[in-house]
Amino acid sequence: MFVKYPEFRALEDRSSGSKADDLLTASITAFCCVARPAKSDAQQLEDLAVPLLALASQRVRRHAAAALSEFSHAPKRLIVALAEDEVDISAPLLLRSPVLDPSDLIGIIDRKGLGHARAIARRDIDDPELLRVLHGFNDPAIERALALRSNSVHSGETDMQDALPTQESPRLRETREALKALMRDSDKGFSGDQALAEHLVDAALLDQTALFEQEFARALALDPDSAKRIIGHGLNAELTIALASLGLSAEAAHLVLTGLFGLVHKDLHSLRLFVQSYRQIDKDKAQATVERWKVRENSQKLRQKLREMAADFEKGARKVS
């Protein structure tokens, strides 16, 4: 069993909508944490999750689609059900889920129409029947997507290294959109700058940590070395305080941490503890703490500069003598 039922029984006092969200989030999080899930694990997830989809919020369904989009062992009935949801929810699955084969995708297009077809067109496609169905729409957006995918494949084959810094992969784009939408739909924490929060989440989701370090430093008016030190190599108190000082909600902060370090809260209990502790951080106090860090860093740099100047002066004095 990949889910501990006592965790679910503890949720019985929740409202039905909230409980469905919690159950679905917990079951998918637990499934994603299993290194080699057995068929029984996938079956248990399917039996539990599929009935919950009708009760779960858009935010949680969107999270489920994004989380399961790259799992080849995810239960097919659940993946198909999510893939037939609204396109802003299903897009990550339509774009890259290995569970969906060409016949599944053709069936989804037949049932859901143009919006889903446009998302599928951004997938890597080599099946002639699926291509025929997509071309059959005579839709400019689909034709552009198919041409772009074809060109990007050829470009990657000829000059992959040059393409990496300048091209944004469809996977990154769809993941960003899914997670940004997830963040927009629930912000029970701070009511800070939502545009800044989305920008930092975008940066954290990139494979190159240096980009996030740059955006993080700019947001906090820190020098690059200080920003890099605060970010560190995993979940830490300084980084959490810094995110709170910027007014990020608990969910936005969690997405940033996940983008930087992978799954940092591996079960529902640890995630709850993080959210509870994060929401207890006072934004004004967090900002004051960051300002103290800046003063301390500046003082250390000034002392270092004075030491260097003194050393240079001594060298010059010795040469003169």
| Cα–Cα distance measured from residue 140 to residue 145, given in angstroms and rounded to the nearest whole number | 9
Higher per-residue pLDDT: 112 or 12: 112
**Is residue 201 scored above 80 in pLDDT?**
no
More confident residue, 295 or 317: 295
Tokens representing residue 29 in the block: 């999080």
Which stretch of 146-150, 157-161, 191-195 has the lowest confidence by average pLDDT? 157-161
Position 241 scores a pLDDT of 93
The two structure tokens encoding residue 218: 């700019």
- CA separation for the pair 183, 198 (Å, rounded): 8
**Mean pLDDT, all residues of the chain:** 78
pLDDT at 150 over 80: no
In angstroms, rounded to a whole number, what is the distance separating the alpha carbons of residues 214 and 237? 20
pLDDT at 14 over 60: no
Mean pLDDT of the 275-303 span = 86
DSSP string, 97-140: -TT--HHHHHHHHHHH-HHHHHHHTTS----HHHHHHHHTT--H
pLDDT at 161 over 50: no
**Residue 320 binned pLDDT confidence (cut-offs 50, 70, 90):** low
Residue 188 CB coordination number (10 Å): 10
Query: Tens digit of pLDDT for each residue in 28-50?
Result: 877 877 777 888 889 989 998 99
Among 4-18, 233-247, 279-293, 294-308, name the one with the lowest average pLDDT. 4-18
Instruction: Write the single-letter amino acid at 43.
Output: Q
pLDDT confidence band for 163 (50 / 70 / 90): very low
In this model, does residue 264 exceed pLDDT 90?
no
Q: Does the pTM exceed 0.75?
A: no
Q: What is the pLDDT of residue 261?
A: 78
Write down the pLDDT at residue 311: 79
* pLDDT at position 9 over 50: no
CB proximity list for 79: less than 8 A, separation 6 or greater = 68, 93, 97, 99, 100
**What percent of the chain has pLDDT above 70?**
75
Residue 101 has pLDDT above 80, yes or no: yes
Q: DSSP characters for 290-317?
A: HHHHHHHHHHHHHHHHHHHHHHHHHHHH
- Averaged pLDDT, 11-39: 71
Q: Give the residue with greater pLDDT, 58 vs 128.
A: 128
Which residues, including other chains, have CB under 8 Å from residue 194's CB and lie 6 or more apart? 184, 187
Looking at residue 159, what is its pLDDT? 45
How many residues comprise the chain? 321
**What pLDDT score does 34 carry?**
74
| pLDDT over threshold 90, residue 76 | yes
Rounded-to-integer distance, Cα 77 and Cα 65, Å: 13
Residue 12 pLDDT more than 50?
A: no
Q: Is the pLDDT of residue 149 over 50?
A: yes
Question: Model confidence at 6, in pLDDT bands (50, 70, 90)?
Answer: very low
**Local confidence band at 11 (pLDDT 50, 70, 90 cut-offs):** very low
pLDDT at 282 over 60: yes
